Amino acid sequence: MTTARAAEYIWRPTPEGTQATNVMRFARGHGIDDYWELVRRSQDDPEWFWAAAVDYLGIEFSTPYERVMDDSRGIEWATWFVGAELNMAWNCVGRWAERTPDAIAAIGETEDGEARYLTYSELWRETCRLAAGLRSLGVGPGDRVGLYLPMVAEAVVALHACSLVGAVLVPIFSGLAAPAVAARVVDADAKVIVTADGALRRGKVVELKKTMDEALATVDCVRSVVVLERLGGGSLTSQRDVWWSELVHGQPDHVDPPPFDSEHPCYIGYTSGTTGRPKGAVHVTGGLLVKLAEEAAFQTDLRQNDRLFWVTDLGWLMGIWEIVGANSLGGAVVVAEGAPTPPPDRVWSLCERHGVSILGLSPTLVRGLMPFGEDPVRSHDLSSLRILASTGEPWNPEPYRWLSETVGGGRIPIINISGGTEIGACFLSPTPAIPIKPCSLGGPALGMAVDVFDQHGDPLRGEVGELVCLKPWPSMTRGVWGDDQRYLDAYWSRFPGVWTHGDWALVDEDGYWFLFGRSDDTLNIAGKRIGPAEIESVLVDHPAVSEAGVAGVPHEVKGEVPWCFCVLVPDVEASDELATDIAGHVVDGLGKSFAPARIVFVQALPKTRSAKIVRRALRAAAVGEDPGDISSLEEPEVLDAITAVLRHDV
């Protein structure tokens, strides 16, 4: 079992910088001078914290709340801001259109380089027109609207338009194939779909409308499909289809924002599953808005003059996070169609071109950018950046330092957050108000009563254990859509009254938190448990390995053994000698108990578009099993190539 190791700090704020952060301004307003004391107080009394955060952030309720939180039905079903009414789109767009009409609200850049800037007045006008158009199609409060769109400016408009009329957002990952799209549409019982005639990704046309037509061929619930003319030249294929431009033509520039109960559902976020129907996490208006605004303000220190760009897709939580987070605080969100490469400098050139000040990306994306070297980074002026952020998976030391030093120049912090779709945001995060250790997540996010438990449900320090949460929070999912028992089984069955998240966590001797991958990915090697991320970290530390994925494969004697799938750096050739050397490197780093049973050299790893390695797909390839739902893979053909390599090696 991994034990706590003290690590040096990679970044420290200046005293002046600490005091200038949003979070410390908030703390001082409540007589608190130490950030960690604020964390403790927010955990001890989350109702105080969330009420205070609402006041600080200026969230506007048309009807004030009567109680901050009600857990009379049990912690699993807690509700927040009881009796309050509000409109999310008004809070994110409408009020800023009145106060700062000429400020930039959204920037959308297509893969072929066309940029669209929307001021808050323009975004509100476009939001109202689409909202009125959706109403003309019969969309009302509570109706589900599927969004199957590329990351263009209109995606921001569509999200806010749905919120304005009280529809429930159902963002669908734009890389999903027709069967997976259909499964989500049917599960949510979506009434309307908003999609595009197509999009660009790595220079190729992604036929979104064609995929949606295939998905809806056997679906009865969808009445209308709104089609954005992104590429042009296409045609509508059904009587239920309508062009976006025609739908909004002649619609009013202003729609009075109707108030909705704080617990009114606003978003169903689908998570990837191995088998069975998709799992949709239900989120509500008040809790989600407050939590996302609070995180953007206190964790990434976002202010009105900031421009936030997170490399993500609308189908993932971070797509919602960046739009609602930035706009709720009057800042600008930057979205980009297509892939982060090619060219190898696309991310950096985009940051320079649009003055991005807060950049979010995944560890896997960083590992994928490192082989291109420093030149693509150095060739651009990144002085606008003041915050780097990341999420999605545990870090390895080398790419973390590369991001800090090569991209950040050692001058700006990496705000490494961890949470999930079901959380509606994050459990763990540092802030720019504290020193930061390499690869760490700082500590508990404000208002989140997280802990680490051993197998018996007792608090654990200095060793890896289960990440849990002891108290509810505003953006906690209100259940799995259409399946309450599935929700209870997934998160509340391990320890009664305690949320068990499924991540391995460790708190070191200085109180800094680290993650070691999913606990349900854990390898049990002759009774010794280890997360695959820890082995992967050692693998990518080898000079010949640029990326690595580890899967546990059954073994008659040891129960499980690790198979290591390695992508080599350019110009390094695979060989038996290299495999032996890499295996020895793992032994040197972790001990003989965790020696790889097999090193497999591959050209690429199976990943989602958000750059998460799908380890169950690696395991399935290794043992010859059905990998289950792989519709979320960025490039499904990668798995076929890995299977071919394994067969060739037999």
Cα–Cα–Cα angle for 270, 229, 610, rounded to 5 degrees: 30
pLDDT of 274: 36
DSSP for 315-377, written as a single string: TSHHHHHHHHHHHHTT-EEEEE-S-S-SSTTHHHHHHHHHT-SEEEE-HHHHHHHGGG-SHHH
Structural domain boundaries of the chain? 1-517, 522-649
Q: What tokens were used for 124?
A: 């509100």
DSSP for 295-320, written as a single string: HHHHTS---TT-EEEE---TTSHHHH
Tell me how far apart the alpha carbons of residues 204 and 634 are, in angstroms, rounded to a whole number. 14
Domain spanning 522-649, CATH class: alpha beta
Provide CB contacts within 8 A for 126, sequence distance 6+: 118, 154, 157, 248
- The residue type found at 134 is L
- C-alpha dihedral, 405 to 407 to 413 to 416, nearest 10°: -110
With a cut of 50, which residues of the chain have pLDDT below it? 1, 3-4, 273-276
SS3 readout for 193-208: EEEECCEEECCEEECH
pLDDT of 273: 44
1-517 is classed CATH 3.40.50.12780: yes
pLDDT of 607: 87
pLDDT of 517: 73
Residue pair 244/229 in contact by the 8 Å Cβ criterion: yes
Query: The pTM is what?
Result: 0.85
Q: What tokens were used for 601?
A: 């050299």
3-state secondary structure of 396: coil
3-state secondary structure of 494: coil
For 525, other C-beta atoms within 10 Å of its C-beta total: 19
Helix axis angle for 46-57 and 285-298, nearest 10°, is 80
pLDDT of 591: 74
Which run of H or of E encompasses 538? helix 532-540
Please state, in angstroms and as integers, the Cα–Cα distance from residue 463 to each residue in 500, 507, 530, 539, following that order.
17, 7, 12, 22
Whether residue 435 is preceded by a cis peptide bond, meaning omega within 30 degrees of 0, is no
